[in-house]
Structure 1
């Protein structure tokens, strides 16, 4: 991958995705479950660019969405509605009506109250072939960052496993299966084993048809920690084979995380109080994970000086939380040169913002050695495209003008 050519052609900052790595990751998932009846889906919260979704869909994946916007991105990418799963909390009535009209394949019901709303809607003529799965919270610790742990009883998601029998006594006639998702970036197999053993027994007790396994497969961010798929196949797959029904899977980070890069240009090298700061042209507005989760991303110098030093890599935003890496030993880059932040394919652009009124960068897909622009750079004017300008005459007399 020629990063200099990409920087010249598209400018910096720029997100870059390796399409061949994405396809390889999809094949790895399919091979892991080759003995099971699986409907794999891609979680668009990780990366919702329709071109990326279309590439993943070409391997047989459906889509896992948490909003109307992600649904529209999936449809734009050509994902058939019957392979779309709607997930998440706080589903609004207007969105529920829209999803019913589209006829998505599956809906993960998050609460008693939500199921009541669905039944009320269908009572008024909104009939549907949608399959409802109930999200069960098994109270299992995923051993991941607290912000992305979702399977403990104090987390907001799903119904407590202790309430499952009561849920089925009330809504059992409408439920086709169980959904469970205990967290993201899980690097140990044991939490999956503990969770799936509990859920399998519930599925068999009520003779349900579908088991949505959730996602959460952890990838290596440079610390050597990741989910061991050989151990997963050895310990988890035999448990799943006890269930004779169909499976769904919702993976995001595992599919695109290691396929993405953020290419940045060095604005200056600043030395202050025995500290060296590499200041680049993008920060937490483009990659929030380090500031939000204290997450580590490998940073590689493209245009180096040959000198290695411990540095902080920081962006141009006006707050101290604007960093991409702290106390990193890197080759000092040249001012005006390029650096590369790795493993940015998931939760990079999808969590980006216009903080400090900065425009969002373009996205470029590399496939079989050829580069494709899949999202153009936002212009400065487009940052304010939704602003409604008030008539200054309306303010006269109200603020002392």
Structure 2
């Protein structure tokens, strides 16, 4: 039995003794309303000595028990730090991903801009497909048309324990303030699901992991690292009140600051070899996925781009949105680790999906030439193909982790 429960039960016994004189009056007041639901005797069971004392007291003073629990606010306050800790430890990544940040935020109206010289060599984004829907103030994010569905490894991650952020107040004035808010309220919660299976590490303001000598540094890099490889799954840039929600959400032609921002984000995606990109400006989370079949296509002005525009407080959980972007980056990485025995005609760079030739045409299809469906082995991280009966499977990629026993 945890120390907190022992403390609570001991406190109840103390209150019994302290409030005994009030029992008779309270019993008379409660009896008419509660009599139909009060059993003749409370059942007993094998229990520690302290709990047996509580059961005896409950049988002897049922009405007093009701009075005690209606007056326990001071006990709750006294042990609130322990009780909150116990509750936090029972939270899971999956539960917290669906929650919105609750800490108060003071907005100052300060904004930032961008006009990086190196980004001018990149084409602005023009072929972007918006997957967020906004009608009469109600927002919805459609992930399934552009992302892979959640697989068995997601079930493993979403069941991991996680803690909510500490209570505090926020004042967002600079880009650094927005960056700190994002890491504290969003990123840290999401990364609790990536402490294992596999381990994803976030770094700030580091150069591209590709080994190329680029002077540019993106604000945030989320990468898989091992002794033999390091692969960015998602990269992100922080701004301050710069994203114009209406323009991006309506799919309008980008101009001015929005166009310059799109050049910069495309440039980072190209330099870091990472098609999954986000931008957060303190008020809006912008998710982008450059649908490039090859790395070089990221820089192509005709490259299609999946886009999600998610204002803070619109009702779409920012944590879940960011988690789904990270998962898509993982799927790309898993596709890079295909086993030699797996055969396909082409593999898309941006999501790692295998494609096969359509006989008699110059086109490709994601439908395999066999009646199997793609999945993930949650115990190892292998991409696998499973038959319709679920009785047979074969691996597409190598193992990335080993599930703890």
* TM-score interval, normalised by the smaller of the two chains: under 0.3
Give the TM-score, by structure 1 length.
0.25
Question: Which structure carries more relative contact order (alpha carbon 8 Å, separation 6+)?
Answer: 1
Q: Would you tell me which structure has more helix in proportion to its own residues?
A: 2
Rg (Cα) greater in structure: 2
Give the TM-score, by structure 2 length.
0.24
Q: Would you tell me which structure has more strand in proportion to its own residues?
A: 1
